[in-house]
Amino acid sequence: MKGLFKKMKNLDVYPKINEDFYKRTLTGGIITIVSSVAMFLLFVSELRLFLHPITETKLVVDTSRGETFRIYLDITFPALPCSMMSVDAMDISGQQHLDIKHDIIKKRIDVHGNVIETRQDGMGSPMIEKPLQSHGGRLQHNETYCGSCYGAETSSDDCCNSCDEIREAYGRKGWGIPDPDLFDQCKREGFLQRIKDEEGEGCSIYGFLEVNKVGGNFHFAPGKSFQQSNMHVHDVLAFHKDSFNMSHTIHKLAFGEYFPSVVNPLDGANWVQSTPQGMYQYFIKMVPTVYSNIDGHTVYTNQFSVTEHLKADNSGRFQFLPGVFFYYDLSPIKVTSTELYVPFLHFLTNVCAIIGGIFTVSGLLDSFIYHSQRIIKKKIELGKLN
C-alpha cells in the first residue's frame, strides 16, 4: 500500500510550497481583492441568467397555409365624423370586407376628445324597421314590406328597406348617390341631418379585423364603398364636401396577439393634414412569429416594419381617394422564439471558467508586476537606471 500511495503522490500536479518560501506583497493583495470582487460579480450575473429563463430565437421557412390572423387597431380621427367613416379590408385572394361593422366599435368624440356616443354600426344612421315606402306608392306597415330601390333593382323581388340598402344596391350597379334626400328611406332615417349634427366632431375606431394570412390592405376612408368596373370606389358625393381632413393618431396597431418584448412601431404615430386632400399610406412588412413561454403557452403572431408615404393634393379636386391606407405583405421566413432555462451543467461550466480564468489572469498579472518591480529595484541599486 505504501508503494501505491507513493505512486499516487507522484501524480500530484499541484505541488505544495513550504510556507517559509512565501512572500506576500501589497500589489498582490490589491490584485487579490480586485479579482475576488470581479469573480463575485460575474458569478452573480451567471446565477441570474441561470435562475431566469432566456429566449432562444430561430429562423425557419413559414410553411403554414389557410390560416387567418387578427389585426388589432385603435385609431382616432379628430376631424372626421363617424357617420362619414368607412372601414374596408381586402386581400390578394380576392376576399373583400366592405364597410365593416362586426368587431369594430366607433366612438363619437368632440373637439376636446370627450366621448359623445359609442356604437357598433356602419355609416349613416340606424335602419328604421318599417319605413313608409313601398312599390307602387302604397304605404305598408306589415312584416312583408318591400321598399323601392329606385331603379337599382336587379329583379322584381328586390327590396331596399333602409338608406344603406339603397346605397348598396346603387353600389352594385356602379352608381353613386348624388343626394340621399331624394330617397324616402334616407330622408326618414335622417341621413343628411345626422351628418350635419356631427359636423365638427371626430371619431375613434377600435376593435379588430380577422383576415386571411396573405398580403392585402385595409383602409379608413369617407363614403360608402362599392365595386365599379373592377375598381374599388367610395361614394363621397352624398356628403356635399370639398375636402376631408384625414388627420389621425394611431394608439395601437398590432398584427396578432401581444407577447413580451414585442415592439409595434406604429403605436403612438400621429399625422396632421396640412393640405385640402391627403392620402396617407403605410407599407407594412410582416414577419410571422411563434412565441412559446416557459409554461408551454404558444402565441402565433406577427412582428412588422413600416414605411410611410403621404400623397397630398392642394388643387381642391378629388384626384384620388382621401383616406388612411395600410398595405401589408408577409415574409416567407418565420421567427420562432422559445423561453427556456440554462442547463445546470452549462451554468457549472461557466462558473468554473469564470473562477479559473480570473485566477489565472490575476496570477499572471501579479507575477508580471512582482518581477518588474524586482528588476527595476535591482537596476536602481546598481545605478543603471537613469
**DSSP string across 7-33:** HHHHT-SSPPPPGGG----HHHHHHHH
Whether 175 is covered by a domain: the verdict is: no
At a CB cut-off of 8 Å and minimum separation 6, what does 354 contact? 39, 42, 43, 46
Note whether 362 and 271 are same-domain residues: no
- First CA to last CA across the chain, in angstroms? 62
Number of domains in the chain: 2
- Residue 128 pLDDT greater than 50, yes or no: no
Q: Above pLDDT 70, what percent of the chain? A: 86
pLDDT category at 86 given cuts 50, 70, 90 is confident
- Residue 80 pLDDT greater than 70, yes or no: yes
Note whether 328 and 288 are same-domain residues: yes
Whether 358 is covered by a domain: the verdict is: yes
Note whether 329 and 373 are same-domain residues: no
Whether 143 is covered by a domain: the verdict is: no
- Residue 139 pLDDT greater than 50, yes or no: no
pLDDT category at 11 given cuts 50, 70, 90 is low
Note whether 227 and 268 are same-domain residues: yes
Note whether 217 and 287 are same-domain residues: yes
Note whether 97 and 226 are same-domain residues: yes
Note whether 35 and 114 are same-domain residues: no
Q: Which of 339, 355, 371 is the last residue of a domain?
A: 339
Structural domain of 95: 60-124+200-339
3-state secondary structure (DSSP) of residue 271: strand
Q: Which of 306, 322, 339 is the last residue of a domain?
A: 339
Q: Which of 304, 320, 339 is the last residue of a domain?
A: 339
Phi, psi of 366 (to 5 degrees): -65, -40
Whether 288 is covered by a domain: the verdict is: yes
Residues paired with 219 in a beta bridge: 88, 325
For residue 207, give the nearest of 122, 330, 96 by alpha carbon: 122
* CB distance 99 to 122 below 8 Å: yes
Whether 137 is covered by a domain: the verdict is: no
Residue showing cell 365593416? 100
Whether 147 is covered by a domain: the verdict is: no
Note whether 249 and 306 are same-domain residues: yes
Mean pLDDT (whole number) for 98-122:
83
Note whether 242 and 373 are same-domain residues: no
Note whether 316 and 371 are same-domain residues: no
Note whether 375 and 286 are same-domain residues: no
Whether 186 is covered by a domain: the verdict is: no
pLDDT for residue 115: 87
Note whether 237 and 378 are same-domain residues: no
CA 1 to chain centre: 75
pLDDT category at 386 given cuts 50, 70, 90 is low
For residue 285, give the nearest of 268, 308, 269, 262 by alpha carbon: 308
Whether 193 is covered by a domain: the verdict is: no
